[in-house]
Amino acid sequence: MFADYSWSELGSIFAMQGFAGLILFSVFVLMALGLAIIFGQMGVINMAHGEFMILGAYVTYLCSNFFSTYLPALFGIYFFVAMILAFFASGALGALVEWGLIRHLYKRPLDTLLATWGLSLILQQAYRSIFGAREVGVSLPSWLLGSWPLTDLIEIPINGLFVMSLTFLIAVGVYFLMFRSRLGMQTRAVVQNRVMAGAVGINTERVDRMTFAIGCGIAGVAGSAFTMIGSTGPTAGQLYIVDTFLIVVFGGAASLLGTIASAFTISQAQSTMEFFLSGSMAKVLTLLTVVGILMLRPEGLFSLKIRR
Amino acid sequence: MTEKTRSENAFSLRRRELLAGMASIPMMSMLGGPVRAQDYPTAEVNTTGLAVTDDTVTVGILHSVTGTMAISETGSVQAEKLAIKQINEMGGVLGRKIEFIQEDGASDWPTFAEKAKKLLVNDKVASVMGCWTSASRKAVLPVFEQYNGMLFYPTFYEGLEESPNVIYTGQEATQQIIAGLDWVAKEKGAKSFYLLGSDYIWPRTSNKIARKHIEEHLGAKVVGEEYYPLGHTQFNSVINKIKLKKPDVIYAIVVGGSNVAFYKQLKAAGIDMTKEKPVLLTISVTEDEILGIGGENIVGAYACMKYFQSLDNPNNEAFVAAFKEMWGDDIVIGDVTQAAYLGPWLWKLAVEKAGSFDIDKIKAALPGIEFDKAPEGYVKVHENHHLWSKTRVGRARDDGQYDLVYETADLVEPDPFPEGYQ
């Protein structure tokens, strides 16, 4: 396995693979954070999570068209505007969906699975009708393209660095939101005991709507960022949904820290195995490992110890 | 086994062809001007109860316009509608206007089979233009054979199939692979290849043929072969492997959304395809896919196809102009779209040659049909129901079009069951 390579090449392999794993880790965390809030904190199985991401991607696409037509001078920074708009667009749609659909189903969590699955189909067809069935190409400002050569072999993709720092910022933001803000405290209170939270004067309906909207908004930002590395089409959201649920469930549904730990484990395992095995086999082994661990620890890596 | 049935078929075909030919002699002598429907009484040209009236004939269009495959199949639907419109403007088929019934396969293979049955049994359509993935074709094949329908299938595919009820207007695997590999070995001096694909039958069969050809005929080396699940979005690991192995050629058959991720990440990882090495050769990226990938991410890559929108010939100029007039200026036309456009035309020619809409007579008439107005140039139907066509290599520009860099001198014979490559 290693015999084909020289020592310096082996060093480069580990550096490059480590970095590839870190990029994958950031991508996974970004995908999963929104769902971790919605699924983990509220118990809503949101099958339309991928479609909220793609809404963010389409917002980015519209932004890039708008800037290249009307404000070409500012094209270099359009991506930041796009991400903010993506957050609000997906968040607003999320709030609307919570109001029209999800809030009627809190007592029937399994039905949310069907309802949001239907929602995901409706959204896909809506994107297809509005933007066309074909994938759209999102043009990026030139500073986001290309790579930064360290040595002959090691090159650091700039968009990878960008996704990593974005993930870091959003993760820190979510941490402050959930553990240091009033809304976060209220959310956690509602999760732990809805009736009691209502009794002490928390407006549980408002908390639910805000939480769901924020989860969707983060999905929108993730979708916006993924235009750099993936495709933007009506059904592209489906590419992410399985991995996203995998990470959230493996990490322990109610724990944000668990989500991060699980994203790290899965991404490192997968990118290392992809290097030494083929892509399909790496996926199979990753899934087998996850299934095995979940059999031993059905609650996931980290579980909240609360009395239900 | 196949040899025997084939020769029997050939014999009976010839006999039927002869009969059909004799039947049409008196009519031919009356011709000269436009074909008039009254010269071909419905009772004579339609003995099997197809949807043919004195002034119309109904065909079916069966593609996915919803679901995950809509992205690919939309272009085929547009091309088929354009061809039908143009044929009608020229007076239709045997003096009859073509009407079409469009059904949606919804990217779901059982739905394709169900809709195919509906078209053949309820609507009695005279032929069907449709399907895109091999899976959908395999799903409708028993239906077409049982109810004796005629399917015109546009996509380049893995071969290993030959049905009397299907005309394959796209390339089978050898037509798309071998000439391209020969070219890259000769022109670029390629000695080592890295094969890469999405994990399903078409890329795997194609790479199998490619590997045999590279190792046994070109005397070159395959330094890696990899498959990734459909919809995979992270290619950093394989890109690292490619960088270490330093192959002369990256031979990529990645499809769908993965395609976009692969090329974007390749570019981000610093592999510049506009340089001399490595050469990236793909058989899965047409102009349609570049729309999603973005021209700046794939500029410099080579694609092996039979058609590029930029082909410089009068047929193609007229085709591209008509296509844009019907579907808008922003539209691009990929290899499969052009192949889909051939379907209605080949059917029209077969009906006219047979002097009948009857499926059996068309089947007999199809081999040998030549179409010299094809945008790709000139095509001819082979005995095995595939098309003779040229293989071409194009190089991607940053505006999403290809520059033609090579084409085979002659038409390449279709060979769906290539000996020594399986």
For residue A35, pLDDT beyond 60: yes
Kindly determine whether residue B293 and residue A137, on different chains, have CB atoms separated by under 8 Å. Answer: yes
Least-confidence region, from A294-303, B60-69, B204-213: A294-303
- Chain B residues in contact with A139 (beta carbon < 8 A): 294, 296
- CB count, 10 Å around CB of A246? 20
Instruction: Give the pLDDT score at A307.
Output: 52
Domain layout of chain B by residue ranges: 2-171+313-388, 173-305+392-407
Instruction: Give the pLDDT score at B209.
Output: 92
- The mean of the pLDDT values for chain A is 86
The pLDDT-based confidence of B123 (bands split at 50, 70, 90) is very high
- How far is it, in rounded angstroms, from Cα B252 to Cα B262? 10
pTM greater than the 0.95 cutoff: no
Domain B173-305+392-407, CATH: 3.40.50.2300
Contacts of A36 (CB under 8 A, 6+ apart): A248, A251, A253, A256, A259
Smallest CA–CA separation between A114 and chain B, in Å? Answer: 18
Instruction: Give the pLDDT score at B340.
Output: 96
Average the pLDDT over A205-226 and give the result. 92
pLDDT, tens only, B257-290: 788 889 988 888 888 888 888 899 999 999 988 8
- How far is it, in rounded angstroms, from Cα A262 to Cα A28? 9
- The mean of the pLDDT values for chain B is 88
Which amino acid is it at B258? S
Beta pairing partners, B101: B60
Nearest by CB to residue A271, choosing from B237, B289, B295, is B237
- How far is it, in rounded angstroms, from Cα A277 to Cα A285? 10
Q: For tokens 């860099």, name the residue.
A: B405
Q: For tokens 């090329």, name the residue.
A: B263
Average the pLDDT over B372-387 and give the result. 94
Q: What percent of chain A shows pLDDT beyond 70?
A: 95
For residue B147, pLDDT beyond 90: yes
Average the pLDDT over A213-223 and give the result. 94
Q: Is the dihedral of CA B120, B125, B126, B129 positive or negative?
A: negative
For residue A15, pLDDT beyond 70: yes
Q: Is the dihedral of CA A106, A111, A113, A119 positive or negative?
A: negative
Average the pLDDT over A13-24 and give the result. 83
Instruction: Give the pLDDT score at B330.
Output: 86
Nearest by CB to residue A134, choosing from B240, B259, B292, is B292
Q: What percent of chain B shows pLDDT beyond 70?
A: 92
pLDDT, tens only, A278-304: 778 888 888 898 899 889 888 887 765
For residue B18, pLDDT beyond 80: no
Average the pLDDT over A73-84 and give the result. 89
For residue B1, pLDDT beyond 80: no
Kindly determine whether residue B74 and residue A147, on different chains, have CB atoms separated by under 8 Å. Answer: no
The answer, for A27 touching chain B at a CB cutoff of 8 Å, is yes
Instruction: Give the pLDDT score at B31.
Output: 45
Partner A, chain B 195-224, Cβ-Cβ below 8 Å: 199
Which amino acid is it at B90? M
Contacts of B13 (CB under 8 A, 6+ apart): B363, B364, B367
For residue A153, pLDDT beyond 80: no
The answer, for A160 touching chain B at a CB cutoff of 8 Å, is yes
Q: What percent of chain B shows pLDDT beyond 90?
A: 66
The answer, for A247 touching chain B at a CB cutoff of 8 Å, is no
Who has greater pLDDT, A16 or B10? A16
Q: A147 in helix, strand or coil?
A: strand
pLDDT, tens only, B235-253: 888 888 888 888 999 999 9
Q: Is the dihedral of CA A246, A251, A254, A256 positive or negative?
A: negative
For residue B25, pLDDT beyond 60: no
Instruction: Give the pLDDT score at A304.
Output: 59
Q: Is the dihedral of CA A218, A220, A222, A224 positive or negative?
A: negative
Least-confidence region, from A135-139, B94-98, B198-202: A135-139
Instruction: Give the pLDDT score at A2.
Output: 58
- Chosen CATH of B2-171+313-388 out of 3.40.50.10310, 3.10.50.40, 3.40.50.2300, 1.10.10.10: 3.40.50.2300
* DSSP conformation class of A40: I
Nearest CA in chain A to B295: A137
Kindly determine whether residue A229 and residue B268, on different chains, have CB atoms separated by under 8 Å. Answer: yes
The answer, for B265 touching chain A at a CB cutoff of 8 Å, is yes
Smallest CA–CA separation between B341 and chain A, in Å? Answer: 19
